[in-house]
Amino acid sequence: MLLAFAAALPAAKNLEIYFIDVEGGQSTLFVAPSGETLLMDTGYGGFNGRDPGRILAAAKAAGVKKIDYLVLSHYHKDHVGGLYDVAAKLPIRNFIDHGPNTETDKDSKVRYNMYSAISAKGTRMTVKPGDTIPIKDLEVRVLAGAGDTIGTALPGGGQANPECASFQPDPDEETNENQQSLGLLITYGDFRILDLGDLTTSREHSLVCPANKIGTVDVFVASHHMGAAANTPQLVHAIHPKVAMSNNGPRKGGKPAAWQTLHDTPGLEDIWQLHYAIASDKDQNSPDTFLANVDEICQGKWLRLTAEKDGSFTVFNSRNKFEKSYGR
């Protein structure tokens, strides 16, 4: 009887994260055990509704019918462009951003005005480093935003970072909306995932030098689409992830230097990529099993990560049905 009763109980819900292929932009859907949802960015607009269509398909696969929190890391077209079409099909309750747009060209103004008009239909919140986003069952902490980062170490952080002495500032570092990106640390029980949007080297440096304010994480979403102007050894060695997730496109991001830094990080087991990076050779792309899309013209397959409260997690590739589990 006890066995029969146990079999009748519903399975415990876990945190599910869908990494959606928006061709080198970003859109990541978090579904908390409570059912509350967070969507980080909306990919590109245009392309006959390609990216909003893929976001809606992932939401359907996840059983999601509304977005409780939309987090816009920043206002570049590969992060906010798909918002109009997503909002037309999927209700959004709360809109979270870093504040006003810092770029003043015509296209940037158009995108920001679109965001302002749509966000006025819900609740809009501007957050700063140290703030939290109130999602049941998760701790969603803002580590960076509007060009600033947290000033004090988080619990589990604060260790001196010996690699900071070898840090070399990038003389060509961008000074645009990328530097304004919101960066999030999302915690579910013992599981931690870090997503710093399109932050580049100097902001990474301020988070982990001279001391690592973050501590360690299980999963790192490679910054700036796994770009060369981010993902420094000072950051990735300090946070010591087991897995890196890359939202690169076939010809955007997925840079060989960034891939190699991640690959060589002590303790890192795998790099999962949304696309095979055409500009890199085979030795600086992950094996086929870890690639959601292998052809330049693709079906936009997603990767799904399922995390349990004890910190263990599984990643599933929707293209080839390959799945791998990672323990504590």
Domain 14-326 annotated CATH 3.60.15.10:
yes
pLDDT at 9: 38
pLDDT in the model for residue 172:
77
Residue 12's pLDDT is 55
Q: Which residues of the chain have pLDDT under 50?
A: 1-11
* CA distances from residue 297 to 231, 240, 246 in whole angstroms, order as listed: 27, 34, 18
Tokens of 43: 């990919």
Which pLDDT does position 227 carry in this prediction?
94
Neighbouring residues of 181: CB distance < 8 A, sequence distance ≥ 6:
73, 74, 98, 144, 145, 196, 197, 198, 199, 203
Provide the phi-psi class of 110: left if phi over 0, else alpha when psi is between -120 and 50, else beta.
alpha
The 10s digit of each residue's pLDDT in 129-175 is: 999 999 999 999 999 999 999 999 999 999 999 999 999 888 778 78
CB half-sphere exposure, 12, CA atoms < 13 A: 9
pLDDT attached to residue 169: 84
Q: Which residues contact 91 (CB under 8 A, 6 or more apart)?
A: 65, 66, 67
- Count of beta carbons in the 10 Å neighbourhood of residue 71: 26
Provide the residue ranges of all domains of the chain, joining segments of one domain with +.
14-326
CA 143 to chain centre: 13
3-state secondary structure of 6: helix
pTM of the model: 0.95
**What is the per-residue pLDDT for 1?**
40
E-only strand ranges, 76-195? 92-97, 123-126, 132-133, 139-145, 148-149, 159-160, 183-188, 191-195
| Cα distances (angstroms) measured from residue 180 to each of 19, 57, 201, 275, 316 | 22, 29, 13, 26, 32
